Amino acid sequence: MDNTDYPALFLCADDASNRYQTFFLRLIRAEYTMLFLAALFSMSFLNGIWYYVLYATVFFITLAILLVRSLRKPEQDWYRCRALAESVKTLTWRYVMRATPFQEVGGDRLQAQSEFRNQLHSIFSENRSTAEKVTSDWSGNDQITPAMIRIRNLPQAERISYYISNRVDEQRSWYAKKASQNKKSANFWVCISAGIYVTAGLLILSRIAMPTWQYWPIEPLIVAAASIIGWVQIKKFNELTAAYTVTAHEIGLIKIRSDSISSDDGISEFVNDAEKAFSREHTLWIARQSD
């Protein structure tokens, strides 16, 4: 399913999560940039009132960024909105696959719809403080969309095939792709850090040959190296590479079980087990990001 095929609550939470993530990472990058500029100013290339005013301004801007990040805590809003969005997504897939507790007993479709709305309302109530932070841009959309109804009405074989292709395979591909991306990012920043260390070392040795030269950019390089270390810790590239790789393999093992499904009860058990696996990894991701 496309994102727009999910309930309105998912769309709002997903959009809010993306916005808070972008805001948080921009604050981090801005703070590192200001610290790097402060290190450059510390080299005292110039003198004069305006130079020192700009030098001080850099620290005041850095303080403002720090206060905004500390008081608003956008990373917490990011995590909570993402958790809300993923909870709704899991519930949606269980509903469209007619998994427990959304079966149609005696063909009673209204009962399943009522149960879905009740659980959606329960998720909303449990996360009311988070829901208040989400955008209202999608609030006019349906909670049970036409695409959800269409998928739910598919024959049994087509329904499980759709789930395998659009949920299981999609999640497996997503985790494998993210594992590869995080590994590449980790290697990239290791190389950049190594380059900075080598450059700083060579500059320090160069002072032996040029003892009278005053403008050695050692401090900016130190700040750059420290910023990279902080960025890597925030993004947790290596940890996520390992976790996402394991999850991709686990999803592959889950997919094998689909070959033996031959009943609605079998579909229900398979879907609920698969969604528990997806939810478990996301719960662990939230915990890792909140450390």
Do 34 and 141 share a domain, yes or no? yes
Residue 152: name the closest of 211, 109, 89, 216 by CA. 109
pLDDT of residue 191: 96
Amino acid in position 203: L
Q: Tell me, yes or no, whether 188 and 281 share the same domain.
A: yes
Residues in contact with 163: Cβ distance below 8 Å, sequence separation at least 6, in sequence order: 93, 97, 267, 271
Domain boundary among 153, 183, 214: 153
Percent above pLDDT 90 for the chain = 46
215/225 Cα distance (integer angstroms)? 19
- CA–CA gap between residue 1 and residue 93 (Å, rounded): 10
**What's the pTM?**
0.85
Per-residue pLDDT tens for 97-135?
999 888 876 666 788 888 998 998 888 888 878 777 776
pLDDT recorded at residue 38: 92
Predicted local distance difference test score (pLDDT) of residue 141: 66
Do residue 17 and residue 128 come from a single domain?
Answer: yes
- Domain limits for position 3: 1-153
Q: Which residues of 149-164 are buried (b: 16+ CB within 10 A; e: fewer)?
A: eebbebeeeebbebbb
Nearest residue to 34 via CA among 223, 225, 218: 223
**Percent residues over pLDDT 70 in the chain:** 92
Above 70 in pLDDT, residue 158? yes
State mean pLDDT over 15-22: 92
- Count of the separate structural domains present in the chain: 2
Of residues 265 and 73, which shows the higher confidence score?
73
What confidence category does residue 28 fall into, taking pLDDT thresholds of 50, 70 and 90?
A: very high
123 and 32 assigned to the same domain: yes
Region class of 98: left (phi > 0), else alpha (psi between -120 and 50), else beta: left
Where does a domain end: 153, 172, 200? Answer: 153
Q: Which of residues 153, 168, 186 is at a domain's end? A: 153
* pLDDT value of position 37: 93
Residues 195, 23 contacting (CB under 8 angstroms): no
Residues 170 and 290 in one domain: yes
Alpha-carbon span 75 to 55, nearest angstrom: 29
